[in-house]
């Protein structure tokens, strides 16, 4: 109750720090049963994408994994989310969600079944115009992967020459949002404009902020994003910004707070599994055979959590070289001596 009351009055920056706090996270985990239900769920609407980005695992997908999620399957997944009160719906995966033919209907269905449930999208903004831009206004949060501050760097990262057109569309979308009643009343959708942190983009970061922060206003942010290697499936070592941090590894929070469902209905604890979906050791099953609630309580997920808390990441192929855990601060407490096999609490 106390945390809920604080969240209503605190500014966005303070809420973000609360989410990263070890103490607050432990209170939240104990109070709401973090181990009993996920906080958010990725639903992969499509695996079609118009780009071939050098830092993405999309190019690893075989032809048989390219397609759209059948709408009946989408509705079944959303219906089963009733088992997870308060869940956030993230309607994206390895594809570009704005290419999903029934995206507006998908968002409408979520709002119909769960009127208060937040909806998030992540897009490259190549189709963020016209009717689709109007539809996206119904989201609570839109993450836009621009990632670069110049046409040359954008071409290098995304292998696309449409930087100017995309930035024009983003600007037009922000202007459209400013006239929306959703934005005037609730500052929605919140827009997170991504800038990818690499050795090559580093010199553009300040100018990127100067250009976009005034346009984003109170209802948005420039999000400086670290590269991830998609469960070790993508070699991004040559792109990384060189850092001095040498912190040891810690358990990945995604095993406790998320679910990801691909276009075929296969369920994983983390979206990073999408890049190796045909061989993923973390696939818990399919929504055609079991309910989401049953899959989330599966023995395979419990075993993965146990191995993470024991510092035995190498025993899970998907996790062995994965670096997604670094996107969130360490909220665990390291034990001075192992306790029943655990190194973390």
User: Tell me: the pLDDT tens digits for 70-115?
Assistant: 999 999 999 999 999 999 999 999 999 999 999 999 999 999 999 9
* Whole-number Å distance between alpha carbons of 283 and 261: 10
pLDDT digits (tens, 9 = 90+) for 305-321: 999 999 999 999 999 99
Of 121, 114, 118, residue with least CA distance to 144: 121
Half-sphere exposure of 12 toward its Cβ, with a 13 Å CA cutoff? 10
pLDDT digits (tens, 9 = 90+) for 258-316: 999 999 999 999 999 998 888 899 999 999 999 999 999 989 999 999 999 999 999 99
Structure tokens at 342: 């655990």
Structure tokens at 197: 């942190």
DSSP 241-286: PP----PPP---THHHHEEEE-TT-EEES-GGGGGGTTT-TT--EE
Burial of 249 (0-12, 13-18, 19+ CB in 10 A): middle
Of 246, 253, 158, residue with least CA distance to 198: 158
pLDDT of 4 > 80? The answer is no
Phi then psi dihedrals of residue 284, to 5 deg: -95, -10
* Whole-number Å distance between alpha carbons of 136 and 107: 9
Whether the CB-CB separation of 253 and 328 falls below 8 Å is answered with yes
* Whole-number Å distance between alpha carbons of 42 and 8: 25
What pLDDT, on a 0 to 100 scale, did the predictor assign at position 35?
52
At CB < 8 A and 24+ separation, what contacts does 326-335 make? 326/226, 326/228, 327/226, 327/228, 328/20, 328/253, 329/20, 329/22, 330/22, 330/247, 330/250, 331/20, 331/21, 331/22, 331/25, 331/26, 331/253, 332/22, 332/250, 332/251, 333/22, 334/250
Half-sphere exposure of 22 toward its Cβ, with a 13 Å CA cutoff? 8
What pLDDT, on a 0 to 100 scale, did the predictor assign at position 11?
61
What pLDDT, on a 0 to 100 scale, did the predictor assign at position 7?
53
């Amino acid at each position: 109750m106390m945390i809920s009351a604080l969240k209503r009055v605190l500014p966005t920056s303070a809420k973000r720090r609360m989410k990263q706090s070890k103490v607050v996270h432990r209170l939240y985990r104990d109070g709401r049963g973090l181990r009993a239900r996920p906080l958010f769920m990725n639903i992969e609407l499509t695996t079609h994408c118009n780009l071939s980005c050098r830092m993405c695992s999309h190019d690893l997908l075989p032809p048989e994994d390219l397609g759209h999620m059948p709408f009946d399957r989408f509705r079944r997944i959303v219906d089963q989310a009733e088992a997870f009160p308060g869940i956030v719906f993230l309607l994206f995966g390895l594809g570009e969600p704005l290419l999903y033919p029934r995206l507006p209907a998908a968002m409408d269905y979520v709002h119909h079944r769960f009127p208060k449930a937040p909806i998030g999208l992540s897009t490259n903004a190549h189709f963020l115009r016209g009717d689709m831009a109007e539809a996206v206004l119904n989201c609570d949060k839109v993450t836009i992967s621009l990632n670069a501050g110049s046409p040359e760097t954008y071409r290098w990262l995304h292998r696309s020459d449409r930087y100017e057109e995309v930035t024009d569309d983003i600007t037009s979308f922000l202007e459209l949002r400013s006239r929306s009643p959703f934005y005037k009343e609730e500052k929605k959708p919140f827009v997170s404009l991504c800038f990818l942190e690499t050795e090559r983009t580093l010199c553009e970061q300040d100018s990127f902020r100067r250009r976009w922060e005034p346009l984003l206003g109170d209802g948005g942010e420039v999000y400086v994003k670290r590269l991830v290697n998609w469960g070790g499936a993508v070699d991004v070592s040559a792109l990384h910004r060189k850092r001095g941090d040498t912190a040891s590894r810690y358990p990945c929070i995604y095993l406790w707070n998320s679910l990801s469902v691909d276009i075929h209905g296969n369920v994983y604890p983390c979206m990073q599994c999408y890049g190796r979906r045909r061989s993923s050791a973390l696939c818990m099953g399919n929504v055609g055979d079991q309910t989401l609630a049953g899959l989330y309580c599966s023995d395979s997920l419990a075993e993965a959590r146990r191995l993470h808390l024991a510092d035995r990441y190498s025993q899970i192929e998907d996790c062995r070289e994965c670096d997604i855990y670094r996107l969130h601060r360490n909220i665990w407490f390291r034990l001075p001596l192992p306790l029943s096999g655990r190194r973390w609490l």
